[in-house]
Amino acid sequence: MKASKKATMVVAVSALLAASAWTIGAFADDRQGDSATAAQVSGVDAQLVERGRYLATVADCAACHTAKNGKPFAGGLGIESPIGRIYSTNITPDKTSGIGKYSYDDFDRAVRHGIARDGSTLYPAMPYASYAKVKPSDMQALYAYFMHGVQPIERANKATDIPWPLSMRWPLRFWRMAFAPEVATDDLPVSNDSVARGRYLVEGLAHCGACHTPRGWGLQEKALSDDGKTYLSGGVIDSFLAKNLRGDQKDGLGTWTQDEIFAFLKSGRTKHSAAFGGMSEVVENSMQHVNDADLTAIAAYLKTLAPLNPSAAVLTANASATDKLRAGTDRSNGALTFVDNCAACHRTSGSGYESTFPRIALSSTVNSNDPTSLIHIVLMGGEMPWTKTGPTHYGMPGFAKRLTDRDIADVLTFVRTSWGNQAPPVSADQVAKVRKSVGAASQPKRPENN
């Protein structure tokens, strides 16, 4: 039950709805538990528990429900929202502070319907809109695991830091009714088709859309499944751009093969890119432990997604920037900053070193219209995930104390317009905004800044 710390928490909608003319009694609650499918898990079935453990890994539940240096699933991790901090809850089977007293119905209502045991609506940081796609048979396995495969830990849940009246939960009931889909059933036969399996995992347990799909007017995901337009087309989360996963060649996965997507999920690195930010944690804690058949299915499904902008120009390599850097004829601030700080790892050709230092020439990350991730990484640095197939832990230092906002804007503009890259320029104001949002060090003082 991942509370999606990568997703911008949508509790701000409570203020919007609280100010509206709606009343609690204006709508009937149609998101009740499915008693017909909520067969109580009886006894301890070792295979069922193990399957639940695997499904919890696919869902990366531990990422949000485990505090730093804390006990697994005991909660307490702070999740930032636009209006205050929320803390993940204890989901161990402890009967005092955890979910030890939850029946299967209680568990199902929380995970798939977004309704707590006391009847209140959960904050949508818990991605129950995605988990609604999970079938009851998998829910029963998850319930068996959390009740019988997780160590009970007594740790009291922490109250949110959201001030009243924004902390009121009742308006979230209307958000849930407006944006949460009907839950899945086990009526449909199990498909052996790899793409169908991949779609089920991506839309449901893996909840990829929680980060990679843009948000609408109510801060809801604009689409919860492939609608041919917006689903998985990218979104800004925690001052990172969760990139476009559709078939766009410029800024999506159009130039990636299915095998390369598989390798990225397994190791966190390919010739195209390396995982960073929240995706680094997803690979390290979840995806590298997913079996090869399911990773193949996820990759196969992602390759079926049509491009968001099918008419966008296809990028082609251009060596002119390389020639100017090597000849020393480009004396612009962006070029000089690149030579001084970036070329040793990413090379004057922008080709980097495969699986070591990411390529930035013709990179779909570099060519995204939104430069948020690039600014964040230059300011704060980043590290590749630790994985079994990629155990070497490479990292990039942050340059917040070394480079001014103008330096970072200039070097990123240089990178985004060199070697065949075609992305909009970056401004110093954009860098300043990200610097503030991520809490980076103040820019260094230079004579021109005095």
User: pLDDT tens digit string along 332-378?
Assistant: 999 999 999 999 999 999 999 987 899 999 999 999 999 999 999 99
Range among 8-17, 122-131, 242-251, 306-315 rated most confident: 242-251
Min mean pLDDT across 25-29, 156-160, 321-325 is at: 25-29
Coil/strand/helix, residue 236: strand
What pLDDT, on a 0 to 100 scale, did the predictor assign at position 80?
A: 76
What's the average model confidence in pLDDT over 251-271?
A: 94
Mention every residue, 6+ apart, whose C-beta is less than 8 A from residue 191.
Answer: 197
Q: Are residues 255 and 333 in the same domain?
A: no
Residue 15 located in a structural domain:
no
- Model confidence band, residue 125 (pLDDT cutoffs 50, 70, 90): confident
43: enclosing H helix or E strand: none
Min mean pLDDT across 68-82, 282-296, 376-390, 408-422 is at: 68-82
C-alpha dihedral (70, 74, 80, 84), degrees to nearest 10: -120
pLDDT at 3 over 50: no
Q: Are residues 170 and 89 in the same domain?
A: yes
Q: Are residues 327 and 282 in the same domain?
A: no
Secondary-structure percent of the chain, ordered helix, strand, coil, rounded to 5: 35, 5, 55
Task: Provide the β-strand partners of residue 235.
Answer: 242
What's the average model confidence in pLDDT over 196-222?
A: 93
Task: Provide the β-strand partners of residue 395.
Answer: 383
Residue 27 located in a structural domain:
no
Q: Are residues 294 and 219 in the same domain?
A: yes
Q: What is the CATH number of the domain that holds 366?
A: 1.10.760.10
Q: Are residues 285 and 411 in the same domain?
A: no
The range of the structural domain enclosing residue 203 comes to 194-304
**Average pLDDT over all residues of the chain:** 87
Residue 290 located in a structural domain:
yes
The last residue of a domain, from among 304, 337, 367: 304
- Between 118 and 42, the higher pLDDT residue: 118
Q: Are residues 203 and 235 in the same domain?
A: yes
DSSP string spanning 68-134?
A: TT--TT-B--EEEETTEEEEPPP-SS-TTTSSTT--HHHHHHHHHH-B-TTSPBPPTTS-HHHHTTS
pLDDT at 10 over 60: no
What pLDDT, on a 0 to 100 scale, did the predictor assign at position 162?
A: 81
What's the average model confidence in pLDDT over 285-312?
A: 95
pLDDT at 120 over 70: yes
What proportion of the chain, given as a percentage, has pLDDT over 90?
A: 67
Angstrom distance (rounded) from CA 159 to CA 409: 40
Range among 29-38, 120-129, 415-424 rated most confident: 415-424
What pLDDT, on a 0 to 100 scale, did the predictor assign at position 22?
A: 31
Per the annotation, binding residues are 61, 64-65, 208, 211-212, 342, 345-346
Q: How many CB atoms lie within 10 A of CB 88?
A: 27
pLDDT at 210 over 70: yes
Q: Are residues 211 and 260 in the same domain?
A: yes
Burial of 229 (C-beta count, 10 Å sphere; 0-12/13-18/19+): exposed
Q: Are residues 367 and 254 in the same domain?
A: no
Mention every residue, 6+ apart, whose C-beta is less than 8 A from residue 94.
Answer: 100, 152, 153, 154, 155
For the chain, how many structural domains are there in total? 3
Select from 433, 450, 303, 285 the least CA-distant residue to 371. Answer: 433
Angstrom distance (rounded) from CA 159 to CA 162: 9
Residue 146 located in a structural domain:
yes
Main-chain phi, psi angles of 368, to 5 degrees: -65, 140
What pLDDT, on a 0 to 100 scale, did the predictor assign at position 448?
A: 59
The last residue of a domain, from among 246, 273, 304: 304
Beta strands of 286-406 (E only): which ranges?
A: 382-383, 395-396
pLDDT at 28 over 90: no
Min mean pLDDT across 19-33, 273-287, 323-337 is at: 19-33
The last residue of a domain, from among 279, 304, 329: 304
pLDDT at 39 over 80: no
Q: Are residues 434 and 336 in the same domain?
A: yes
Mention every residue, 6+ apart, whose C-beta is less than 8 A from residue 342.
Answer: 411, 415
Angstrom distance (rounded) from CA 229 to CA 370: 18
Per the annotation, binding residues for heme c are 61, 64-65, 208, 211-212, 342, 345-346
What pLDDT, on a 0 to 100 scale, did the predictor assign at position 190?
A: 65
Q: How far from 71 is each of 56, 92, 102, 154, 197, CA to CA, in Å? A: 16, 10, 20, 10, 32
Q: Are residues 381 and 329 in the same domain?
A: yes
Residue 187 located in a structural domain:
no
Residue 8 located in a structural domain:
no
Residue 125 located in a structural domain:
yes
What's the average model confidence in pLDDT over 213-218?
A: 89
Whole-prediction pTM: 0.88
- Between 125 and 337, the higher pLDDT residue: 337
What's the average model confidence in pLDDT over 398-427?
A: 98
Residue 89 located in a structural domain:
yes
Q: Are residues 48 and 174 in the same domain?
A: yes
What pLDDT, on a 0 to 100 scale, did the predictor assign at position 358?
A: 92
Select from 283, 252, 376 the least CA-distant residue to 274. Answer: 283
Q: What angle do CA 277, 281, 285 make, to 5 degrees?
A: 175
